[in-house]
Structure 1
Amino acid sequence: MAYLGHTAHAQFVALWLGTVGWILIIVTIGLVEWRVWEVSDLSVITSGLAWVGIWRVCFYSHALILSNNQIMFCQRIGFSESFRPPEIAAAQVLMVVALILGLMGNASAVYGLRNVYFGLNKLKPIRLAFYTGGVLYILTGVSALVPVCWNLHSVVNNQTIIFPAEFLMPPAPVIQSVGPGIILGIFASTLLVCSGMVFLSYRVPVVPKVRPSWPGEGRSGTRVNHQGIDNQAFQTQKNS
């Protein structure tokens, strides 16, 4: 098979961008700063700000330890919590799905590039690996973008969450704003979708077939007359 390394430079860059996007998805899942709540009652949340993520709710307070030193107080949001709004429940599921799909997309893209640069297989597995990786990257980006945009919509409309009493959260914020988790999630999803499009755009170049030339054939494939031409001077000397 002809060497195809020069045909996959864009896909090599897309692999790096997709890997970075997938790592940022992992970071987004762990961030608690998805939604930033500004509260008016500072008796418990002495910092005036609370952070609502998809797995935890946190705020700084020194009232809980009766000290001037502030500590971060966090409560976990589990899968079985009944107070979860639909956007957080969907984010908990879809972000994990995006994590798995992104891992599979990276594996498929690496396999395809390995075949391209080392020429270890035929053209069909390369196309299949690139197309599979591209589809998985796009699905990863969409799976992460849906819950991120849903939570963004909730922030814009200042939708509240009825937390249990042990969370020590107010029934509603004065105002809420977009946190780094949502911004990072949108950026990561964009990287993944763009990477997937690059993999789907790969086209295997047409390799011309080389046919050995037979004796008597020219470059154009036509027959060439190799019979000698009579030497007129020799013929004259012979007759004389």
Structure 2
Amino acid sequence: MPFLLHTAHAQLLALWISVLGWILIMVSLGTVEWRIWEVSDISIITSGIAWVGVWRVCFHSHAPILSTNQIMFCQRIHLWESFTPPEIASAQVLMIVSIILGFLGNACVIFALRKVYFGFSSIIPAFFAGGVLLILTASSALIPVCWNLSSVVNNYTVFFPESFLMPSAPLSQSVGPGIIVGFFASVLLVFSGLVFLSYRSPKVKPIGHPGICLKQQGIDNPAFQTHNEC
């Protein structure tokens, strides 16, 4: 069914966009620079800058708290810790959920495109499922991204334990690459999801009119007799 190949060019492009958005979700999750803290006391955080991410908090230090071969100090943020703020806890859960949903959504789209290129039926339900899953992926990522963005704008603090060697409150905060990448990835996923939801199967136009018999041009073969002649 070659006519189907010309109906899914936008969806094929949207697949690349959705895969890129899904990869950027993982990049955002692994980036430690979600919230950039500027601190006034540089006796320990000698760079004056600390990074608060979804899984870790890190800063550079030349103080004798590390071995002589290290200059970065990092501590893990666990979901079950009492000091973990809800915006970071939600990011640890919802970003993982978004990665799973993104995988399922892209799998549905690949399955739908396979149906298109091999001429199978029931294409629209597969595209619809993929579009819905990708929009849910973007929503799952946008919730923690916007929540952490709000915490940065309002300069909310995190009461880290003493072992983290972090100040009780930052002097100021700024948005880190993790939030920016997560927001951009969500936009890509929403756009691609809408493209998949907009797919419509073409209507097949019948050749000729009912009741009209079309003769094939050429030389008749007298050895072949039909019982239904025009």
Aligned partner of residue 3 in structure 2, secondary structure: coil
Q: Where do 5+ consecutive residues of structure 1 fail to align?
A: 220-225, 227-240
d(CA) in 1 for partners of 2:7, 2:202: 8
d(CA) in 1 for partners of 2:99, 2:67: 40
Residue 187 (structure 1) aligned to one of 173, 184, 188: 184
> Per-residue displacement from partner, 1:55-90 (whole Å, max 9, x unpaired)?
000000010357887611000011211111111111
1:3 positional shift: 3.5
Residue 201 (structure 2) aligned to one of 197, 201, 204: 204
Partner residue in 2 for 1:109: 109
1:26 positional shift: 0.4
- Is the contact made by 2:98 and 2:138 (CA closer than 8 Å) also made in structure 1? yes
Partner residue in 1 for 2:53: 53
d(CA) in 2 for partners of 1:101, 1:82: 28
Moved over 4 A (4+): 65-70, 210-214, 216-219
CA distance 1:109–1:203, change in 2 (3 Å) = same
- Is the contact made by 1:90 and 1:147 (CA closer than 8 Å) also made in structure 2? yes
Partner residue in 1 for 2:86: 86
Partner residue in 2 for 1:161: 158
1:217 positional shift: 4.7
d(CA) in 2 for partners of 1:69, 1:15: 45
- Is the contact made by 2:66 and 2:73 (CA closer than 8 Å) also made in structure 1? no
> How does 1:18-167 map onto structure 2 within 5 Å?
18-65=18-65, 71-119=71-119, 121-122=120-121, 124=122, 126-167=123-164
CA distance 1:38–1:70, change in 2 (3 Å) = farther
d(CA) in 2 for partners of 1:85, 1:152: 13
- Greater gyration radius: 1
1:97 positional shift: 0.4
- Is the contact made by 2:11 and 2:196 (CA closer than 8 Å) also made in structure 1? yes
Normalised to the residue count of structure 2, the TM-score between the two structures is 0.88
1:209 positional shift: 3.4
Percent identity at matched positions? Answer: 65
The size of the alignment, in residue pairs, is: 216
Normalised to the residue count of structure 1, the TM-score between the two structures is 0.85
CA distance 1:189–1:49, change in 2 (3 Å) = same
